[in-house]
Amino acid sequence: MMNKDEQFMALAINSASKGRYHTWTNPMVGAVVVKDGKVLATGYHHKYGDVHAERDAISKLTPEQLFNSTLYVTLEPCNHTGKQPPCSDLIIASKIKRVVISEIDPHGLVTGKGIKKLRSHNISVTTGVLTQEAKTLNKHYNFFYEHKMPYICLKQALSLDHKCSYPGKRLQITGKAAYEQVHRERADYQAIMIGSSTALIDNPTLLTSVKQDHPPIRIVLDRRGRLLNKNLALLSDNHAPTWLFTQNTKLTKFPYPPHIKVFLLHSGSLREVLQMLTQNNVQSIYVEGGPTLMKTFIEEKLAQELITYFSPTFLGNNALDGFEITENINLIKPDYQVLDKDIRISGRIDYV
């Protein structure tokens, strides 16, 4: 059984989740204003650039309603001016008497400062209510600010005999339901990454099925510059940004349209790529292959999650193998989801 604080916070978390796919580099946040045991208003951060959850809820109420009320918010209120004025000031001005918080914001500009400000104005602050649940909302955002590296999820599609494609051919191994799931889950990430062979063979668009103001950036790792002068979907359509990472200066000089950005690598290592992406505030990446790129991510312990779609089929040994690794790893708390004839297996990677 949840206590009262947890019940109201669960409602705030539920509100927060309505912002899914649309808060971009911002976290999903939800807020609930309660007085005399009754919910007066709920709010959430609708999308990047919009007002914060606290303001969304508070703006629905009169000063009289807000006076002496309690605010439940899934993430520590900010105390700095970004796209929006600080929420801490708004809470103080609203004469809210108590603030209940799930998660301390891991963003260095915020951490602890919002709480300190509120307490200095004699507002009672309670923390640690449904913290794990609230953290799950923003696992990419949290990971990014805690580790100063993007959260990496690897996705592969395999047959039961561990094959992923035929040489030089585009192949859709799994069925429609898995296809739709992939196009939906792409929208949870800020970027999608593939290697140059996958770009050349599959010529994918790497778009999502979710309408987004900020669709995931399409990243191709192309050290040698094999994509130069190639007619590929993600170089010609501008439905999402395309970023190329290369050591070939011809690519950096090529007159690409504005949706394409070329980054020149020095060492060419995956770690260098991720550092550049961190500097560009890319918090999460969905890596779709090929096998060599996946292998490198795991062998350098840079990936956090693995999703494997299995199709109940054997492609036979003319087909190419999925990636193999030297060491062994486990998936923590694996999740299984049946999608028509296929199955999706996902879990956090435990580097044993």
Q: What is the dihedral of CA 267, 241, 184, 21, to 10 degrees?
A: 100
**Closest alpha carbon to 163 in 344, 61, 296, 311:** 311
* Residue 293 φ then ψ, to 5°: -65, -45
The residue among 257 and 312 lying less far from a copy of itself, judged by its C-beta, is 312
Bridge pairing between strands 163-165 and 320-321: antiparallel
Query: Residue 73's Cα: distance from chain center in Å?
Result: 21
If binding is defined by CB under 8 A, does position 64 make contact with a copy of itself?
no
If binding is defined by CB under 8 A, does position 328 make contact with a copy of itself?
yes
Closest separation between CB of residue 338 and a copy of itself, Å?
5
Contacting range for a copy of itself; rule: CB under 8 A; set: 13-21, 23-31, 271-279, 337-345: 337-345
If binding is defined by CB under 8 A, does position 326 make contact with a copy of itself?
yes
Contacting range for a copy of itself; rule: CB under 8 A; set: 65-73, 223-231, 242-250, 340-348: 340-348
Closest separation between CB of residue 306 and a copy of itself, Å?
8
Closest separation between CB of residue 238 and a copy of itself, Å?
37
Residue 55 and residue 130: Cα distance in Å, rounded? Answer: 21
Contacting range for a copy of itself; rule: CB under 8 A; set: 177-185, 209-217, 220-228, 321-329: 321-329
The residue among 141 and 323 lying less far from a copy of itself, judged by its C-beta, is 323
Determine which residue in the list 36, 132, 167, 336 makes contact with a copy of itself, applying CB under 8 A.
336
Assigned token pair, 42: 């709920």
Determine which residue in the list 20, 112, 120, 161 makes contact with a copy of itself, applying CB under 8 A.
161
Count of all residues that appear for the chain in the document: 352
Q: Is 300 a catalytic residue?
A: no
In Å, what is the CA distance from 100 to each residue of 85, 127, 128?
20, 6, 8
Per DSSP, the residues of 253-265 read HS---TTEEEEE-
If binding is defined by CB under 8 A, does position 167 make contact with a copy of itself?
no
If binding is defined by CB under 8 A, does position 172 make contact with a copy of itself?
no
Residue 39 and residue 185: Cα distance in Å, rounded? Answer: 33
DSSP tag of 78: P
Closest separation between CB of residue 128 and a copy of itself, Å?
30
The residue among 276 and 343 lying less far from a copy of itself, judged by its C-beta, is 343
β partners of residue 245: 221, 263
Per DSSP, the residues of 155-186 read EEEEETTSEEE-TT-----S-HHHHHHHHHHG
Binding site for a copy of itself (CB under 8 A): 160-162, 298, 306, 308, 310, 312-319, 321-331, 334, 336, 338, 341, 343, 345, 347
Active site residues: 54
| Annotated binding-site positions for NADP(+) | 157, 198, 202
